[in-house]
Amino acid sequence: MAGLVAAGKNLMLSGFTGTATYVSLHTDDPSTGGTNEVAGGSYARVSAAWGSPSNGAVTNGSNIAFNVPASTTIKFIGYWSASTSGTFYGSRALDTNQTFATAGTYTISAGNLSESVA
C-alpha cells in the first residue's frame, strides 16, 4: 500500500497550520493538555506565520520571538488555536533546554520550526 501522497500530506498540514496559529513555551512536558506553560513577566504565546506545505512538510515563514521571564528553563514548545485558552494541538521537545537566569528573548528563526506528515 502506498499511503498518502504529497498532496494528501500537504492537505493535512494546511489544516494544522490553519488552526494551530499560536506557539507556546513550556518548562516541562505539556502532556496532552498543554500544562507547564511558561508564566510571568511579559511572556505570552506568539502567533505563528506558517509557510505553504510542500512535499509533506511545513516550516514557520517568519521569526517567532518570545519574552521569557527570569529564572526559567524552557524545554518544549506547544501549538494552540488561540493566544489564551484555546485548543492545544500538541508539542515538541527543544533540541536543547534553554535556561534564562535573567529575563530575555527566545527566538525561533524563520524556517527552523518544521512539522511533517510521514
pLDDT, tens digit (0-9, with 9 covering 90-100), for 70-91: 999 999 999 999 999 999 999 9
3-state secondary structure 8-32: HHHHHHHHHHHHCCEEEEECCCCCC
Residue 86 inside a domain? The answer is: yes
| Counted domains in the chain | 1
Is residue 79 within 8 A of residue 20, CB to CB? The reply is yes
* Residue range 45-57: mean pLDDT, rounded: 97
Is residue 80 within 8 A of residue 23, CB to CB? The reply is yes
pLDDT, tens digit (0-9, with 9 covering 90-100), for 6-50: 999 999 999 999 999 999 999 999 999 999 999 999 999 999 999
Residue 96 inside a domain? The answer is: yes
Q: Give pLDDT, residue 118.
A: 87
Residue 1 inside a domain? The answer is: no
* Residues spanned by the domain of 91: 6-116
